[in-house]
Structure 1
């Protein structure tokens, strides 16, 4: 639908970043004007477009601000697309997932020999000194561990997957203790993006959903996240 080396990354407070493409780099022959318009106090009136490839019709998949309000960056000659309505997005040859990457967010993957123990239903399900600690802006520290240092006999593969713009596509395991089965409690990245290569194949437990995680014998405080209430 679009291919450019001159995209704008539109960043607004409390919003995900959005790519805007120069109209000249958009396949306009696939665009169909829509009756839908939306209002934004900082950008103006958005005119929406559907996409018709001749095989697939996608309603209201793109939008454009033909006459942005005063103070808005000059985006009248640019168009954007609804991320979830497109099949794939790429930066150069690397596929990007979920949304455009936030220029103010970063991840750091640091190997650590500190002892990490994971306790679930009173049982120790992981014990490792070969972890990688992942620090991500706005998120709690995650402890990625070799699967050989976990109770793999408790694991069962899940069909669930999730996507992250900063790490890639993750797969999951269910974990069954003597007490109960915990759905999608553990995840891993079989083929992470370049910035997260150090966690390739390592597993991570939802800290919010286990009894506790200890690092060098000290319990790590839990932080509230979307997983705290169970979102699977």
Structure 2
């Protein structure tokens, strides 16, 4: 992340020789495993690693239940920037290996970070910013998500077949990602798709459920999704359906859009290969 010097956040953002970016946060953050509070901090810092698209929190040691941490028996390699010290977490239930670590940067030497990006099994179960539970990863204070109703004409094709046609979309604008087009269910050929048990969580939007294309062609699974109960900030997408722009063809107001390349592109390609598609 590079901010213009005039940006207000540029005055608080720090850079370390290891390539980490970090800044203090004023949010009260708590993390729990079962009924045990492992972290309770009013002085967290947000840290951006060069290879991860989202931030994570690190906490002063005195705000962490360090009595629950033991040096990792099998420290992971290559999962975070630099040479860290990893800890196994001994809290409620089974030991969680490699659940916590320290960054090598001198600026962050008194801080401990915990897994929760991608909601790995080694991470903490529940996280809260103030009194709101947060999922998957911390919200980026430099990222914005807007869901705006529109009357633009959106047509979606899969393998040359029209699968959706709408003049009442909600356009979702999310920093660093392509515009997503959320369409009313009645404007989507859901008979051409099959619901799956796949779901994902997003700290900005909520929990999504998915559908897979029934037809032939090089179409990854779970190409279509919906938020039945979105978070209040994007309530306008409730019950609507959206496609991955990366793998379908979208015609907007009569103009075909290019398929974007995003952090999801590799995941979608691998999903297609896993189904035996070329």
- Which TM-score band applies after superposition, normalised by the shorter structure? 0.7 to 0.9
Give distance in 2, aligned partners of 1:193 and 1:47.
36
Larger Rg: 1
Question: Which segments of 5 or more consecutive residues in structure 2 lack a partner in the other structure?
Answer: 1-37, 272-278
Report how far residue 145 of structure 1 moved.
Answer: 0.5
Higher relative contact order (CA closer than 8 Å, sequence separation 6+): 1
| TM-score normalized by the length of structure 1 | 0.82
Residue number in structure 2 paired with 1:19: 57
Find out whether 1:79 has 2:112 as its counterpart.
Answer: yes
Give distance in 1, aligned partners of 2:211 and 2:76.
41
Report how far residue 90 of structure 1 moved.
Answer: 2.3
Find out whether 1:127 has 2:160 as its counterpart.
Answer: no
Give distance in 2, aligned partners of 1:9 and 1:224.
27
Query: Residues 231, 97 of structure 1: CA spacing in aligned structure 2 closer, same or farther, 3 A cutoff?
Result: farther
Contact 1:98–1:165 (8 Å) recurs in 2: yes
Residue number in structure 1 paired with 2:183: 145
Report how far residue 186 of structure 1 moved.
Answer: 0.5
Residue in structure 2 matching 1:218, options 245, 255, 264:
255
Contact 1:116–1:127 (8 Å) recurs in 2: yes
Residue in structure 1 matching 2:225, options 155, 179, 187:
187
Give distance in 2, aligned partners of 1:227 and 1:146.
25
Report how far residue 134 of structure 1 moved.
Answer: 1.1
Query: Residues 181, 18 of structure 1: CA spacing in aligned structure 2 closer, same or farther, 3 A cutoff?
Result: closer
Within 5 Å, give how 1:55-74 maps onto structure 2. Answer: 55-64=93-102, 72-73=106-107
Give distance in 1, aligned partners of 2:61 and 2:205.
30
Q: How many residues end up aligned between the 2 structures? A: 223
Give distance in 2, aligned partners of 1:121 and 1:188.
21
Secondary structure of residue in 1 paired with 2:258 = coil
What do the CA deviations read for 1:202-227 (whole angstroms, capped 9, x no partner)? 100122222x2111211122112333
Higher fraction of strand: 1
Secondary structure of residue in 2 paired with 1:53 = coil
Give distance in 2, aligned partners of 1:34 and 1:14.
23
| TM-score normalized by the length of structure 2 | 0.70
The alignment's C-alpha RMSD in Å is 2.8
